[in-house]
Amino acid sequence: MIRVQNITKTFIRNKNKKQKEEFYADYDITFEAREGEIIGILGPNGAGKTTLLRMIAGILEPTKGKITFDKMDYKNNEIEIKQKIAYLSGNTKLYDTLSTYELLKMCCDIYGLSEKESKKRIVEITNILKMEQFLYNKIANLSTGQTQKVNVARCLVHNPQYYILDEATTGLDIISSQVILNFIKEERKKGKTILYSTHYMEEAENICDRVIMINKGKVIKIGTPTEIKKDTKTTNLRDAFFEIIGGVSNEE
């Protein structure tokens, strides 16, 4: 179980040419993600979704609050937690000079898999994601969809318990997006915990068990898609989202 308790993150930004100011990227966020659950993180641009997921992935340190994975926290168990998580973002880039096989092998080595385990795991993942055709091609030469498949593959090598997916389908065509959505559903069936941030409301409505809506760094709604639609008296999550957020982007 992932437990996020009263997480706050502040950054310093330029107020004007001379002055700087502190601002809250995330403020007092609390929620839990249980085994076999997909939690959707929704919000407009600049709402604080990426910062929140980066803190959960251990890339950023919270200013206040605590994040635990089965009672382990980053302060005392950073390596153990990172052994159990996989982080995939729409911005995640791979090493262009490596081939798909070399990248997966590198990930296996980093996660401490033996030679035998590595070979077996790479064959398994290649079959699941249908990557045989470009397994030995350099990543620089792959299409966007193929690259995203490799990205998913590198998340799978160590069979993680927790997935942190930040706008993982952004910029992908419908077929490539479906690969990722199918993968998420499959992993849920195996009892994995998945945090999934997206701009696509239909996607969230289809696959998420619960949804957390964030705006200006604060949680403004938590619930199942059905509960949220009921509360907002709307028929779909898109309309519910506009009803709650008010239709104004934070970047405006």
Instruction: Select the residue interacting with another protein from 5, 8, 68, 92 (CB under 8 A).
Output: 92
Q: Does 98 sit near another protein (CB under 8 A)?
A: yes
Query: Which one of 54-62, 188-196, 207-215, 220-228 is the stretch in contact with another protein (CB under 8 A)?
Result: 54-62
Instruction: Select the residue interacting with another protein from 5, 8, 83, 234 (CB under 8 A).
Output: 83
Closest CB to another protein among 55 and 131?
A: 55
User: What is the rounded distance in angstroms from the CA atom of residue 200 to the CA atom of residue 189?
Assistant: 22
Closest CB to another protein among 83 and 250?
A: 83
| HSE (side-chain half, CA atoms, 13 Å) at 190 | 14
Q: Which helix (H) or strand (E) holds 230?
A: helix 225-232
Q: Does 93 sit near another protein (CB under 8 A)?
A: yes
The three-class DSSP label of residue 76 is helix
User: What is the rounded distance in angstroms from the CA atom of residue 123 to the CA atom of residue 29?
Assistant: 40
**Which CA distances in Å does 108 have to 13, 101, 126, 219, 240?**
39, 10, 14, 37, 42
* CB proximity list for 218: less than 8 A, separation 6 or greater: 26, 27, 28, 29
Instruction: Select the residue interacting with another protein from 61, 124, 173, 231 (CB under 8 A).
Output: 61
Q: Does 189 sit near another protein (CB under 8 A)?
A: no
User: What is the rounded distance in angstroms from the CA atom of residue 72 to the CA atom of residue 66?
Assistant: 10
Q: Does 106 sit near another protein (CB under 8 A)?
A: yes
The minimum distance between CB 75 and another protein, in angstroms, equals 13
Q: Does 22 sit near another protein (CB under 8 A)?
A: no
Torsion of CA 241, 58, 188, 212, to 10 degrees: -20
User: What is the rounded distance in angstroms from the CA atom of residue 43 to the CA atom of residue 198?
Assistant: 8
By rule CB under 8 A, what string of x and - marks binding of each residue 145-184 to another protein? ---------x------------------------------
Closest CB to another protein among 166 and 205?
A: 166
* Cross-strand partners of 3: 32, 68
Residues that bind another protein (CB under 8 A): 11-12, 57-61, 78-80, 82-83, 85-87, 89, 91-98, 102, 106-107, 109-112, 154
